[in-house]
Structures are given as structure tokens and as C-alpha cells.
Amino acid sequence: MHEENREKLERLLEYLDIKFESKTRIALNIDCPYCPDDEGQHLGLFLDKLTFSCWKCKTGGSLFDVINELSGITREDFDEFFDSSRPLDEKSVLSQIKDIVNGKEDVEFAPARDVQWPPPGSVSLAKYADPQALQFLETRGISYDFAIQHDVWIGMSGRYTGRFIIPVIFEGVVVAFQARDMTGKSDAKYLTEGDISYFLYNFDNVDESKPVAVTEGIFDCWVCDNGVASFTAALSHEQICLMLEKDPPYWILAWDIGEDGSDAYWKSKKVLKELLVIFGGEKINYVTLPAGEDLSSLGSAKVKEILENSVGVV
């Protein structure tokens, strides 16, 4: 089983352009996306149970979670790849999207899995002003009324205890949610329910009369006047198809891109080039953030200034 999984995992990592090295018979190592400002292939991908663990930052979970974090691969593609001998579609995401743009392919979205909302053991912030949640909001410059408006819930027991829970809504239906740790004690900052790689947070509320910022996280999206969140520093086939349904003056890629030569920087540049081919140069701008900052740490006034001064792809 280990050798079969090794062959499949190596092919998948190569397909997604994720660098790896083989350390033991039952594990492959990659750069850890959860360790801040660190390099080195010290996150292990374990072949027996398809899990991962980083010995430095202690983050762990299912193999899908980390590969989705790095590439935006959907759960459907991941499961299909490991559950069958058939390889992933050899077409790149860019090739697939170009076929759609040129009318050669119809867009088909997989049905969303049933997501229980609200999650068990949670309470609406509107009904219980949890002191820890209020402090969490205050440190991030988010008002209580704003959180109520966005239907925030708080985990009081079970898996989501001590977490700030935010629904992802598509066409008026909760299709997923993210639960953000408020305690600072959990190895996993985010827990996610639902196939978020199929969706863009706040997509239903996009105003097509104004530029739209594409951010990484939900908190980043909240400080933008008109934005969506992709959840990771990647865009899936389905997320780009959603963008094609809207026609704003232009899109602004507003991920945590710093001019530091990091892997995140080059991955973002690669996505920018793909978006340029799909949408055209006049439709894609981007912003560069100060080193170590993200949009949510800058405040709405500074974010507005940064977005207003976005630049086109060159």
C-alpha cells in the first residue's frame, strides 16, 4: 500500500509543481506552508494514512488539507486521484479555462456537500456576546455590529470550541464555513467544513460597477469595500469560472504578496500571468503589501489607499 500511495503522491506533487524529497519508506517531505518565514523540507507527508505533520510548527491533519492549501486542488480531484488508477486530467487549469472562455467547454460545478449550519455546539454572536470573541474582534478592528451582519457564530463545545465561525454563502445557501481559533493555543489556526475550493467568499455580494479585490482570507476580504476571498494563495478551476461570471472594471489580486522572492511571491506571480491570459491585461491588477503584513492588519483606510493604487500586470 505504501508503494502504491508513494507512486500516486509523487505523480500528484509533480503535477501540481510541489517540490518534495524522499526521506523514509513511508513519508515524503515538502516545505511547510504553515511555518512563517522559514524554509526547508520539514513537513512530512505520510503514505500509510494519507496525513501530514510538521515537526517544527506541529501543524498536522489530512493530506488533502495541506495540498489544498498549496494548490487549491478540489476534494473531488484529490479523492479521484487516490481512489482510482486514472491520472488527473493532463490539461492544466489554464488550458481548461481557456477552453471555457472560447466556448469549447461548459462549466459544470460539482454539487456542494451537505454542510450542517450552524455547526453543533455553537451559538450566534448575536445571542451571546462572548467576551473572548469581543476581544478578538476589537484587536482586529472589527465592530460587533459588523460581525453580527456577517452571521458570525462562536464554538462553545465540541470540535469548534474557542473558534470564531464564519459561513461561506453561495446563491443564498451556506455551502461551507471556516472556524478560526481565538485562543492562540491550537496548532490549526483554521478548521474548514465544506469544499471551499469551489467557491469564493462574498461572491453573492460583488458590486460589478467597481473593481473587485481577490484576497486570501475572509478577514482580508472584510476590510475591502468590494472583495472576495479565495481562502488560499491559489485559484481553482471553479473559482476562476466564478470570476468569469462577473464583469467588474477590473480584478485586483490582493494576496499577501511581498517583494521578497519567497515561494508565495512566485506562486502569486504565476497566477497573475494565468489571469492575464484569461481576462486580458486591462482586467487584472495587483497590489504589493508591506513585508509581514496582510490586508486585515493594515486597517480599512490603508487598504483603500493600497487598492486605489493597484497596478496592472506587466
Helix axes 93-101, 263-279, angle to 10 degrees: 20
**Arithmetic mean of pLDDT, 56-81:** 78
Residue 1: C-alpha distances to residues 48, 60, 158, 310 (Å): 7, 22, 33, 50
- Cell 474548514: give the residue: 192
Task: Give the single-character DSSP code of 89.
Answer: P
Task: Give the single-character DSSP code of 271.
Answer: H
What pLDDT shows up at residue 257?
60
| Cell digits of residue 153 | 457564530
What pLDDT shows up at residue 53?
86
Report residue 193: phi and psi, to 5°. Answer: -125, 130
| Cell digits of residue 131 | 467576551
> Is residue 215 over pLDDT 70?
yes
Preceding omega of 120 cis (within 30 degrees of 0): no
Confidence bin at 38 (pLDDT 50/70/90): low
Tens of pLDDT, residue by residue over 69-96, are: 887 777 767 776 666 544 444 455 556 6
What pLDDT shows up at residue 200?
96
What pLDDT shows up at residue 90?
46
- Is the pLDDT higher at 50 or at 283? 283
Confidence bin at 8 (pLDDT 50/70/90): confident
Residues in the chain: 314
What pLDDT shows up at residue 87?
45
Give percent helix, percent strand, percent coil of the chain, each to the nearest 5: 35, 20, 45
Confidence bin at 19 (pLDDT 50/70/90): confident
Tens of pLDDT, residue by residue over 233-284, are: 888 888 998 999 999 999 999 887 655 544 455 567 778 878 887 888 889 9
- Residues ≥6 apart with Cβ < 8 Å to 58: 187
What does the alpha-carbon distance between residue 236 and residue 295 come to, in Å, rounded to a whole number?
22
Query: What domains sit in the chain, N to C, each tagged with a CATH number?
Result: 2-90 (3.90.580), 122-175 (no CATH), 203-312 (3.40.1360.10)
Confidence bin at 64 (pLDDT 50/70/90): confident
- Looking at every residue in the chain, the average pLDDT score rounds to 82
